[in-house]
Amino acid sequence: MNLSSSFEDKLREAVQDKIEQKVREEIGPDLVRVAEENWKAYASRNGYDIDHVWEDVEHTVERTPNGISIVVEWPELTALFEFGVDPHTIDGNPLLHFYWDEIGQWVTTDNVDWGSETGGIPESRAIRDALNQTRRDLS
Per-residue pLDDT tens, the chain, 139 aa: give them.
566 768 888 888 899 999 999 999 999 999 999 999 999 999 999 999 999 999 999 999 999 888 899 999 999 999 999 999 999 999 999 999 999 898 999 999 999 998 988 899 999 999 999 999 999 999 8
Q: What is the pLDDT of residue 10?
A: 87
Q: 63 Cβ partners below 8 Å, 6+ apart?
A: 16, 20, 69
Beta carbons within 10 angstroms of residue 127's beta carbon: 23
Give the side-chain half-sphere CA count within 13 A for 4. 3
* Cα-based angle 33, 37, 42 (whole degrees, multiple of 5): 145
**Interatomic CA distance for residues 77 and 97, integer angstroms:** 21
Q: What is the pLDDT of residue 46?
A: 95
**Interatomic CA distance for residues 5 and 27, integer angstroms:** 31
Q: What is the pLDDT of residue 120?
A: 94
Q: What is the pLDDT of residue 8?
A: 81
E strand intervals along the chain: 58-64, 67-73, 88-100, 105-114
